[in-house]
A = this chain, B = another copy of it.
Amino acid sequence: MTEFPQADKNRVRRHPERGAYDKDSVHQIIDTALICHVAFVQDGEPFVIPTLHARHDDTILLHGASSSRMMKHVESGQRVSLAFSLVDGLVLARSVFSHSINYRSVVLFGQGEAVTSKAAKLVALERFTERIMPGRWAEARQPTALELKATSVAAIPIEMASAKLRQGPPMDDDADLNLPVWAGVVPLRQVAGTPVRDPKQPDGIPLPKYILEYVQDRQ
């Protein structure tokens, strides 16, 4: 199956031409976003919390302190909705009404479950660490049994998902095209700056190549 199923809940209704349901599009946005927003219902009320995520095939992994409200909720198997959003540009149209932003987003639905085995938790933590910085897992000090216990990991198999994308120039009405107003796109992107060494770090530990390359790839 290369597409997520469509239903009323995840179908892109406004601007259906911006919707995508193929797994490649959905996975790519999830993997590019560093954080996601998790929505859940408690006592009938909505909550939304930003958090780091990782992906394993069609399953989203979340982690957090065992005491966290969000983790307890996700592990309990109640329904959640997650959003992953990337802002790519400001769309400056000739008319106020046609102003927009270029973006890539995914909204998905599912039910979480606790990941409890030590081996599976370790694999998940490797994914989280490598998401923050590829190459880091092999170098950083591995989790102790106590640290592993203090960390909850939840897995959310994706039940339904849709991507929504807007790219390209403004779409003004034909009647507006000759207005004397500059129209176009201001691209936005996230860049990495010069790494700042921990002041507590003794001299003599050079910046690793994988961090240097990460920064160079994002300038």
Q: Footprint of B on A, CB under 8 Å?
A: 9, 13-14, 34-35, 37-41, 44-50, 52, 64-65, 67-69, 79-83, 85, 87, 90-97, 99, 101, 103, 105, 107, 109, 125, 128-129, 132-133, 136-137, 139-144, 147, 150-151, 169-170, 172, 176-202, 205-208, 211, 214-215
Contact in complex: B39, A81 (CB < 8 Å):
yes
List 12 interface pairs A-B (beta carbons < 8 Å), by A numbering.
Answer: A13-B68, A14-B67, A14-B68, A39-B48, A47-B107, A96-B141, A97-B143, A97-B144, A99-B132, A140-B181, A172-B198, A188-B190
Contact A67 to B13, CB < 8 A, known contacts A96-B137, A140-B94, A141-B95: yes
Closest to A147 in B: B97
CA distance A65 to B9 in the complex (A): 17
**Which residues of chain B are within 8 angstroms of A198 by Cβ–Cβ distance?**
169-170, 172, 183-185
Q: In the A-B complex, list the 9 residue pairs whose CB atoms are closest, starting with the nearest.
A: A39-B48, A39-B39, A187-B193, A37-B37, A39-B46, A95-B141, A50-B85, A97-B147, A183-B198
Counting chain B CB atoms within 10 Å of each CB, which of A101, A128, A151 scores highest? A101
CA distance A185 to B192 in the complex (A): 10
Contact A93 to B181, CB < 8 A, known contacts A65-B14, A186-B192: no
Contact in complex: B192, A94 (CB < 8 Å):
no
Contact A186 to B214, CB < 8 A, known contacts A39-B81, A83-B37: yes
Closest to A105 in B: B50
Contact in complex: A81, B47 (CB < 8 Å):
yes
Closest to A164 in B: B50
Min Cβ gap A106→B in Å is: 10
CA distance A133 to B107 in the complex (A): 27
